[in-house]
Structure 1
Amino acid sequence: MNFVIRLDISKEIGYGHFYRSITLARSLRSSNDSIYLIAKSIPEHLKIWLSKFGIKFFLLGSNITSGSIEDLNHTKSFCELIGNPDLLIIDHYNIDIKFEKNIRNFVNKILVIDDLANRNHDCDILLDQNLRHLENRYEKLLPKKSKVFLGPKYFFFREEFYDANLSKSVRNKLKNILIFMGGGDNSYEIIKVIKSIKYINSKEIYWTLITGKDIQDINKIILLTKKIKNFKLITHTDEISKIISSSDLAIGTCGISAWERCILGLPSLVMITAENQKEDAEILEEMNAVINLGRSDKVLGKDIAKNITKLINNDNLLKSMSIASFKVLEGHTKAINFLKKEIILTL
């Protein structure tokens, strides 16, 4: 079988769409199947990563408008070239029913990954891996034949997160703090967190900051962290699961990395950096898995420091948040196996 993925990657979009769609396709692929990625552009380090898994890519060019007629025609041509793929996976906020209807004759089935529920789709399967209050939010946006799968239990994790050697213990003492604001350029939030450290009166905390390769203010960040005791800076890693499992608290966003923290039971302080993260952050706080600091542009350094200090002084709160984090993804293995079976049956 042939699987084709249409998505884009940029400093603004980040890498979340890329990793979740590629991981989904790889989980469906058998030894004789092929995966192709169509994108406007791909950073060099991700091209190398794709090649490790035998995934081929086709670049549209950065001048193409995503979801446009030009985008559609290029995607059609590529699908024809490889002999009409068995499954087209679309993970893109700028693509909707117009694009999907017009490419129907060039693919067997269409799977859409979305979390906005703000536009119509013509797809066979709709996958929304986020937490939302409205269970029927796609009811008027899809054909009746569409199969809908909702919630983070359907999130496809990279193999590293299933490593039996990873620690999956409940946290009960705050010593190691992970700062990870996603793979895009979140310099503003990172610098704010770094500056908050001066308000924390504990010398026993060990800090790990992971940044993406596209970060703009890396020199400023290096300068700011040089004199901070017990501070480690990692500019890119393919083994984030090991760092999450060895941490006691994360400071991050409520994007895709939220589920990576939850599957390993890591409590978090979260900042909202995009509108589609707002409801996830609110529900996760209701579940006691995170402390929601609110919109990142409204968060002060003192707010971050105050909540870290609270967790340093309250082991029971940290423990209860860790237990709650694990519960977010209860039933995940069963749900993923069911979803994979349903996708294959659809094909």
Structure 2
Amino acid sequence: MVRNHEGCGHHPGAHALDPAAGQDPQENLRHVRMTSDCPLFDPWLLDAMLAEFLASQDTDQPFDYYSNTFPSRTYPTGLDAEIFTRQALERAHREAVRPPEDTPDDLALIEAVYAEVYREDRLFTTDEVLALFARRPELMDINGTVRAKAIDPDIEGGLVIRVDASARIGSGHFMRCLALAQAWPRDRGPVVFVMAEAEGTVADRLAQEGFQLVSCPGPVASPEDGAALLATTRDVGAEWLVVDGYRFDTAYLARLTGHACRLLVVDDDGAAGLPPVDAVLNQNLHAEAALYPDLPAMSRLLAGPRYQLMRREFLVGPRPAASAADPARNLLVTLGGGDPYRTGETVLEALELLPTADLEVRLLAGVRPERLAELTDRARRLRQRVEILPQVADMPAQLAWADLAVTAGGSTLWELAYMGVPALVTVLADNQEPSSRLLAERGAIRRLGRAETLDAATVAAALGTLLTDAAARQAMVAAGRDLIDGRGAERVVRTMLLWSRRRTS
């Protein structure tokens, strides 16, 4: 529909960009274009746009075109409006016509929104729609598989991720950021990881994925770190900056706010006193708004396991069927990148206490060479068949092999739950306590206690019970799979793109 701000004319059968479609021939008329595929448009937004456009007409440089979609989108798709002169309309008609792209799923979403917020006696606003999505995020799944075509991919931006990985801090933060990067549309812009620590196979993995790696100078979370990170976002023209790590404090995050790209912070335990970031992602079972009382009203909180970041390799093909072995014979031990409390040695000691020799064990050991030699030597002396694996390229294959796992309470818990592997869990850090406790209450795992006090007898007793109890293992699998569907990264990226805009400051 083409609309003149001094009057309204709707011309059935004529294209919206056709200047000959019944328009007034007067050259000084201004027009507003709103399309019928934007049924949630906010009239107060249009008032503000019109006011600024008309005010420019009394200046030395009057606007001939005004939009919230070009050259960069400043409002989500569906809140599109354009204001233009007759001359601009004629140029647009000569140069391009964009075909409609709406689908039945889009219509179903709009109908669901209208059922919630529409009233005959009043207009609803964008803020009401945003509040609805915050209250009922499952609505966005209705058209979750629909991808709108960008007007011009070259004007979109990339994704910059600040994260680290090392034997000391582990690789869990990096792995979940990798899942987010994999879900980012490749035609949207480059994905760049900025890292001060990138040990092990991190660089090779990023190269395989086609992502860039930029080294971060200066101490971690220092002003130099932040300045280099912001410089990378400017070089990339990033739409979003993602920061994930416990060492990035409030002062560091504050230096990253208010710049051209939006900022998403990945958190696990409720970051007190957050600066005005654009979004917070807490993918844990205990995540809730009460953890973030200082979060600004316009910030987005993505909370709970529906946003669990699952890497692409876990999502290829259907989920494997849970093991029905009785007793269980394949035991996987995976303790993260560091294993600071030597829990791997504790598990090997526990195997000595088990009466059964009919057990195959794979211990994934992301440790330094000297400890790897110690583990290998100890494994040779056991009755069970034990394989020490320092580097694993295909983690889903390891999980599909396992009947039971002993693991640390990090992001691997969710991979095990998705793949249907029951787990005995030890807690390495305070931030792992809430999720492991709630998962145990749901029946999805069994807890072994804190890693720093864990002993071989406790591990041996728990293994001896669960290896021979197929019904208990099946119940754990069912409870875990109820919590995660593997679409978390897709949901996070979809939300990021929905609210994406590059600021002009």
Q: Distance in 1 between matches of 2:227 and 2:453?
A: 43
1:185·1:214 contact (CA, 8 Å) conserved in 2? no
Pair 1:277–1:18, CA change in 2 (3 A): same
Task: Give yes or no for contact 1:267–1:318 (8 Å, CA) kept in 2.
Answer: yes
Relative to 1, partners in 2 of residues 1:292 and 1:43: Cα closer, same or farther, differing over 3 Å? same
Cα distance in 2 for partners of 1:211, 1:107 equals 41
Deviation at 1:237, TM superposition (A): 0.8
Tell me which residue corresponds to 1:2: 158
1:123 Cα offset (Å): 1.6
Q: What aligned pairs does 1:262-281 form with structure 2 within 5 A after superposition?
A: 262-281=417-436
Instruction: Encode CA deviations 1:267-307: one digit per residue, 9 max, x unaligned.
Output: 11111111111111111111111110110122110111111
Q: Residue 259 of structure 1 aligns with which residue?
A: 414
* Bigger Cα displacement from structure 2, 70-79 vs 288-297: 70-79
Q: Deviations over 1:294-326 (max 9, x none)?
A: 101221101111111111332221221122222
Q: Is 1:201 paired with 2:359?
A: no
SS at match of 1:288: coil
Is 1:328 the counterpart of 2:486? The answer is no
- Amino acid corresponding to residue 181 of structure 2 in structure 1: A
2:172 equivalent in structure 1: 16
User: Structure 1 pair 137/93, CA: closer, same or farther in 2 (3 Å)?
Assistant: farther
Q: Quote the residue 2:306 is aligned against.
A: 153
Q: CA deviation at 1:175?
A: 1.2
Aligned-partner SS, 2:310? coil
Q: 1:216 to 1:345 in 2, by over 3 A?
A: farther
How far is 1:165 from its partner?
Answer: 6.2
**Would you say the 8 A contact 2:284–2:303 is kept in 1?**
yes
**1:47-105: CA deviation from partner (whole Å, max 9, x where unpaired):** 111111221122124xx33222222222222333334x111001022224433333334
**Match of residue 204 from structure 2:** 48
Q: Output the amino acid matched with 2:256.
A: I
Name the count of aligned residue pairs.
341
Question: How far does residue 337 in structure 1 lie from its aligned partner after superposition?
Answer: 4.0
Corresponding residue of 1:163: 316
How far apart in 2 are the matches of 1:231 and 1:154?
35
Code of the aligned partner of 2:232: F
Tell me, what secondary structure is at the counterpart of 1:104? coil
Partner of 1:75: 229
- Counterpart CA distance in 1 for 2:460 and 2:254 is 50
Higher relative contact order (CA 8 A, sep 6+): 1
Contact 2:310 2:489 in 1 (8 A): no
- Residue 297 of structure 2 aligns with an amino acid whose one-letter code is K
Partner residue of 1:117 out of 270, 275, 299 = 270
Superposed, 1:60-139 pairs within 5 Å as: 60-61=216-217, 64-83=218-237, 85-121=238-274, 122-132=276-286, 135-139=288-292
1:298 maps to what in 2? 453
Q: What secondary structure is seen at the aligned counterpart in 1 of 2:434?
A: helix
Residues in 2 aligned to 1:274 and 1:240: alpha-carbon distance in whole angstroms: 23
Deviates more, 1:207-216 or 1:14-23: 207-216
Q: Does residue 31 of structure 2 align to residue 31 of structure 1?
A: no
Could you tell me which runs of 5 or more consecutive residues in structure 1 were left unpaired when the two chains were aligned: none
| Aligned residues of 1:7 and 1:18 also touching (Cα < 8 A) | yes
Query: Matched residues in 2 for 1:115 and 1:324: separation?
Result: 22
Structure showing greater radius of gyration is 2
| Partner Cα separation in structure 1 for residue 338 and residue 417 of structure 2 | 21
Q: How far is 1:215 from its partner?
A: 5.9
Which one-letter code corresponds to 1:70 in the other structure? E
Segments of 4+ moved more than 6 angstroms: none
Change (3 A) 1:215 1:167: farther
- Return 86-95 or 212-221, whichever deviates more: 212-221
SS of residue in 2 equivalent to 1:88? strand
Task: Report the alpha carbon displacement of residue 187 of structure 1 after superposing the two structures with TM.
Answer: 6.3
Alpha-carbon separation, structure 2, partners of 1:76 and 1:156: 25
- Whether contact under 8 Å (2:263, 2:277) holds in the other structure is yes
> Which position in structure 1 is the counterpart of 2:386?
231
Specify the SS of the correspondent of 1:137: helix
- 1:189 matches 2:350: no
Q: Residue type matched to 1:162 in 2?
A: L
In the TM superposition, what whole-angstrom CA distance separates every residue of 1:148-189 from its partner, at most 9, and x where no partner exists? 111222112112111226623254521111001012244610
1:58 aligns with 2:214: yes
Contact (CA 8 Å) 2:240, 2:262: kept in 1 or not? yes
**Unpaired segments ≥5 residues, structure 2:** 1-156, 501-505
Give 1:249's aligned amino acid: L
Residue type of the alignment partner of 1:35: V
Structure 1 pair 185/107, CA: closer, same or farther in 2 (3 Å)?
farther
Amino acid aligned to 1:236: Q
Distance in 2, Cα, partners of 1:261 & 1:338: 20
Question: Once superposed, what is the RMSD of the aligned Cα atoms?
Answer: 2.0
Give distance in 1, aligned partners of 2:458 and 2:441: 19
Contact 2:322 2:474 in 1 (8 A): no
Residues 242/186 of structure 1: CA separation in 2 closer, same or farther (3 Å cut):
farther
2: CA distance, partners of 1:308 / 1:251 = 9
| Cα distance in structure 1, aligned partners of 2:244 and 2:316 | 27
- 2-side partners of 1:215 and 1:21: how far apart? 27
By how many angstroms is 1:216 displaced? 4.7
Q: After superposing the two structures, state which structure 1 stretch, 213-222 or 250-259, moved more.
A: 213-222
Structure 1 residue aligned with 2:499: 346
Kept after mapping to 1: 8 A contact 2:361/2:386: yes
Answer yes or no: is the 8 Å Cα contact 1:87–1:108 preserved in 2.
yes
